[in-house]
Structure 1
């Protein structure tokens, strides 16, 4: 949907779906324009402008609730009418007919009609006599009527009993009607639960019935508590902190919940059920167990926003859902999006757990001119500009990690690991190549090694000579051969070079920078080529043969 168009039902949010398109939700087909017409008798017109048939997720939820409420009222009305009809049938007066004798000659039935005098017949006869006297003009004539005192007394007694029965107002229902009423199923109480309440219910029940540990983030300083944002050095201390401090606190506030940016990180190391102690590998199996064995309520008709991790004290982070390994928590977090494809990028088909991450990713596809805020460099994408500013100008470095040998601080795992390898000959993590047994301190370096050396990937081709290169930077350096321009000049001896790297190597001669040291006799040289010649001529071995026992390669 276009970002410039708003929802037709609220005019406040961008549309997420189309009013005229058929969607399937929980096995039921929905056309939102037809639902508006059926529920509110509103006929929506389309075609007045481009993309005028959008509706947002919030309005879709409210429309579903309104339609369900209307159908609930209709069902209740039908059941009420059926119940009223049964009660009316039970109170209808029935006339009893009696058959006397059958005339065998003509086959005619004779019915005896029982005639009973009304309670007011005697009083009515007296009134009729008075009226007749008035009509005939016998106003002075006294009309006498012979009455039976015993009959009048009996009639009055019967009238009083009738009034007593009417005053009780009891409803008589036949046994047949009563049995039909009992067979009617009671109308279930229907409660509509919004999506935020469902998410809160799932997370609260999961924390209450298992040993899951929520956390906010994992940084170079430690693991951040999801309740109070306090940082702890490892997951065991975080569990102890939560148990002692936040045992009665709620993790999610339903009023402040933002579904577009919702994600809950859970540590599921040694995951188990609190009720029976059963162990599980992932949260899905735990939820099935709690629902079936302990009758704990979970909603399955919503997206899953719970990210699962198995945090350890190791430098290498393992994915809890597959066998992938990563050096940093940020790389693992990016990988987890592939397991939670709640929202899909239409350009590259990558999945993301919530809309916020999808929108951040979509910025990487924006092509333009993005200038660095600190220097004059211009980048084609916003992501490249942000990476340049972070790692070159260090503008957003928030955390540091220290070397365990000398306490020197670094702003990234890569810088710390490289320092440990070069200065202390120690390796924080190692990744071995299965082909040549070479070892690397970063998995990304191992991947690049396999592609470059063993798979011989050469995707960057020189347009002049056709030579291929693994990275574009190598191609750019190669193109200097064809251009032939020497723009980098030494300020001491005025020698010019085509590459800045070559000029830097040349400046070591003037600075007497002897960084290449012989491992046999400790003689140092300015250039590496000089060391190679020395090793071969004086010690009878090549530099490569001498360095073979060293299994770990510098990045």
Structure 2
């Protein structure tokens, strides 16, 4: 520790630290190190002493390099690229110049983590920090909040390196990591996060009042909601979801996922039911299937009989049996129907849409039920079972 006498008679104390060679110049030229410089020192030590590599972001298909515009579908390829092309102090300093203390967070790939100095394998980030300090006498600042997310890749799923939970998407994993690094907490609800920027954004949800949209004058109860409304309805014309690769916008995440598969070659997400063998392409479809089939979630009861239904739409269709009310009329033959789907199926008759063909005799039918009845009555029970049961 060094001390200097200031003009007003006060004493200023500061440290000069002998750190890793790549940090010596910064340490000598900086007397009072700011938080950002302390993060840089720790990042420099970790990068120079281990094979841990940073990840800038993931756009849903590619992992982005922190130091250049290269991108890779496999994080292992990004790791190899980083260690081969950007394992220099200048590259790390250039990366840190783009960071701010209020939103700093380093996403560090610690897959197959090893110490470069002694080639020792280490399982955790905390183990690496202890190792380089105690075994190799590297200096790390411990008076700053830890803003490093350790990430491990290797299995088919993305797994948290701390609690080992599995995640379908990289974005969901990063959001989860905030729960392990509660550096800043909301005094209202106890929400914890890693940096000040995330906490500031969260706190907007607690500021209630009367907030008016500057375009349409619609009133919202929070600043956050009026901002979301403005961007969704006025700036982006309801196209609230953006493709991070080509910047095309979509109305929902489901439509964006289809775009990613069709245009960018992304492997479609498959959501498997844990209770049966069925699979689905969206989590909502899986949830609906689980509640309808396995949990028997029928919360819409009929007031006229004992039947219950999964949705209000199903209940409204059923009520037509009790009321006898027919609201849907065929414009061709004037026949009335109680359900819209009944009218839709009826229209196949006028279109002569015989989409169901008997494989035994070649006769075609407009409706499935007519086809099934034909096979059973004309070709027998064995033919019926061979066609519809097996």
TM-score interval (norm. to shorter): 0.5 to 0.7
**Does structure 2 retain, via aligned residues, the 8 Å contact 1:462–1:475?**
no
1:215 aligns with 2:25: no
CA distance in 2, matches of 1:308, 1:237: 18
**Residues 240-259 of structure 1 deviation map (CA, whole Å, 9 limit, x = unaligned):** 43344323233355555322
1:352 aligns with 2:193: yes
1:197 aligns with 2:37: yes
**Residues 331-380 of structure 1 deviation map (CA, whole Å, 9 limit, x = unaligned):** 33333333333334566654333333344455667799999x9xxxx9x9
**Does structure 2 retain, via aligned residues, the 8 Å contact 1:338–1:352?**
yes
Q: How does 1:46-445 map to 2 (within 5 A)?
A: 192-248=32-88, 249-251=90-92, 256-311=98-153, 314=156, 316-345=157-186, 349-361=190-202, 393=239, 396-399=242-245, 412-413=256-257, 430-441=270-281, 445=285
Instruction: Label 1:499 to 1:330 Cα distance change in 2 as closer, same or farther (>3 A).
Output: farther
**Does structure 1 retain, via aligned residues, the 8 Å contact 2:330–2:336?**
yes
Question: What displacement does 1:497 show?
Answer: 6.6
Cross-structure match for 1:52:
none
**Does structure 1 retain, via aligned residues, the 8 Å contact 2:241–2:256?**
no
SS at match of 2:91: coil
CA distance in 2, matches of 1:447, 1:217: 29
CA distance in 2, matches of 1:278, 1:267: 17
CA distance in 2, matches of 1:368, 1:492: 53
In structure 2, runs of 5+ residues without a counterpart are 1-5, 14-30, 247-253
CA distance in 1, matches of 2:284, 2:363: 34
Instruction: Label 1:346 to 1:72 Cα distance change in 2 as closer, same or farther (>3 A).
Output: closer
Name which one, 1 or 2, has greater alpha-carbon Rg.
1
**Does structure 2 retain, via aligned residues, the 8 Å contact 1:477–1:499?**
no
In structure 1, runs of 5+ residues without a counterpart are 1-65, 74-190, 401-409, 420-426, 547-555
**Does structure 1 retain, via aligned residues, the 8 Å contact 2:372–2:384?**
no
Question: What displacement does 1:227 show?
Answer: 1.5
Instruction: Label 1:497 to 1:302 Cα distance change in 2 as closer, same or farther (>3 A).
Output: farther
SS at match of 2:41: helix
Question: What displacement does 1:224 show?
Answer: 1.3
SS at match of 1:251: helix
**Residues 10-64 of structure 1 deviation map (CA, whole Å, 9 limit, x = unaligned):** xxxxxxxxxxxxxxxxxxxxxxxxxxxxxxxxxxxxxxxxxxxxxxxxxxxxxxx
Instruction: Label 1:525 to 1:450 Cα distance change in 2 as closer, same or farther (>3 A).
Output: same
1:478 aligns with 2:315: yes
CA distance in 2, matches of 1:391, 1:515: 40
**Does structure 1 retain, via aligned residues, the 8 Å contact 2:354–2:366?**
yes
Instruction: Label 1:369 to 1:523 Cα distance change in 2 as closer, same or farther (>3 A).
Output: farther
**Residues 489-521 of structure 1 deviation map (CA, whole Å, 9 limit, x = unaligned):** 665556677776666566555556666788999
- In the alignment of these two chains, the number of paired residues is 339
CA distance in 1, matches of 2:57, 2:190: 26
CA distance in 1, matches of 2:201, 2:106: 18
CA distance in 1, matches of 2:75, 2:340: 47
In angstroms, what is the RMSD of aligned CA positions?
5.3
**Residues 216-275 of structure 1 deviation map (CA, whole Å, 9 limit, x = unaligned):** 222244221112233234334323433443232333555553223222222222122111
**Does structure 1 retain, via aligned residues, the 8 Å contact 2:53–2:83?**
no
Instruction: Label 1:359 to 1:503 Cα distance change in 2 as closer, same or farther (>3 A).
Output: farther
Cross-structure match for 2:18:
none
CA distance in 1, matches of 2:301, 2:203: 32
CA distance in 1, matches of 2:211, 2:363: 50
SS at match of 1:265: strand
CA distance in 2, matches of 1:367, 1:289: 52
**Does structure 1 retain, via aligned residues, the 8 Å contact 2:302–2:319?**
no
CA distance in 2, matches of 1:322, 1:226: 26
Instruction: Label 1:310 to 1:70 Cα distance change in 2 as closer, same or farther (>3 A).
Output: same
> Which TM-score applies when normalising by structure 2?
0.63
**Does structure 1 retain, via aligned residues, the 8 Å contact 2:51–2:83?**
no
